[in-house]
Amino acid sequence: MFYELNHCGIVVRDLDASLDFYQDLFGARVVFRKVIEASSTDVVYLQLAGGLIELLHPANPASDEQFGLNHIAFLTHSLDDDYSRLTEAGFEGQLAPRTAGTGVGRLAYVRGPDDARVELIQRDLPLRTAVIGHPIVRSFDHIALVVTDRERARDFYQDLIGMKTLAPGYLHYDHDVLELLESAEPAAESISHIALRVANVDEAVAAFSAQGARFEGAATQNAAARGRRAVIRDPDGVEIVLLDGPGPGAHPKH
């Protein structure tokens, strides 16, 4: 049984640059760090406010390695049963249940709707601590996916994974929120962006810009007039959206 949207994974070119970006700007904290010896890959979990991101840094990346957002991960109490249930429902198994490369827990991968890479994890080691305070970032708001058929995606994440509807286009486990962005055409990357909630976008842009951050254009009005938004990218091009105002993913405790 699934019970948590745990993290999104990012494959990075320069681990130090990525750590500096997330720690210096957003106050992220390293909560887990190991090396997968078989592939010489650094695995670093960062907690940002109350959410988690995983940085994967291969020492010897393949020539066709794709850097940036790589997968979303869910925790389960019964990895083998849930993996079988998803594959029997017609979703491709990419990696059958096995011990994680770090030696901590077990994992599997399936291909979700619109080729989203979905990691299933079973482990007893808790990684999250209390919410990390920051003068600008109030919460880790949501992870966004691009889907061509929102109903099919909702059936997967709600009926098979067990998430609940928070608002139209938004699903959640408690404070962990997934946004489903419908698109007529398949996206090059199924994971669209990470969103962080701030008190005031314009003030956040000014403060982060003073630290040397570069935003993509000026802050704009958010869709449905729910406040304002601004976009910044991490060293590997991952889109991070800053949001203010009310919203389905606005969870002050997370």
pLDDT digits (tens, 9 = 90+) for 124-150: 888 998 999 999 999 999 999 999 999
pLDDT score recorded for residue 250: 46
Rg (CA), the chain: 18
pLDDT score recorded for residue 108: 98
Whether 131 is covered by a domain: the verdict is: no
- Count the residues in the chain: 254
**Mean pLDDT, range 96-103, rounded to an integer:** 96
Q: Which domain holds residue 174?
A: 137-243
β-strand partners of 76: 2
Closest-CA residue to 254 (of 173, 168, 171)? 173
Whether 187 is covered by a domain: the verdict is: yes
Where is 210: in which H helix or E strand?
Answer: helix 201-210
Tens of pLDDT, residues 1-45? 999 999 999 999 999 999 999 999 999 999 999 999 999 999 999
pLDDT at residue 224 is higher than 60: no
Tens of pLDDT, residues 141-174? 999 999 999 999 999 999 999 999 999 999 999 9
pTM: 0.94
pLDDT at residue 222 is higher than 90: no
Tens of pLDDT, residues 47-60? 999 999 999 999 99
**Domain count of the chain?**
2
Are both 79 and 174 inside the same structural domain?
Answer: no
Q: What is the CATH number of the domain that holds 164?
A: 3.10.180.10
pLDDT at residue 253 is higher than 70: no
Tens of pLDDT, residues 72-88? 999 999 999 999 999 99
Are both 168 and 217 inside the same structural domain?
Answer: yes
Are both 87 and 142 inside the same structural domain?
Answer: no
pLDDT band at 207 (very low <50, low <70, confident <90, very high): very high
Where is 17: in which H helix or E strand?
Answer: helix 15-20
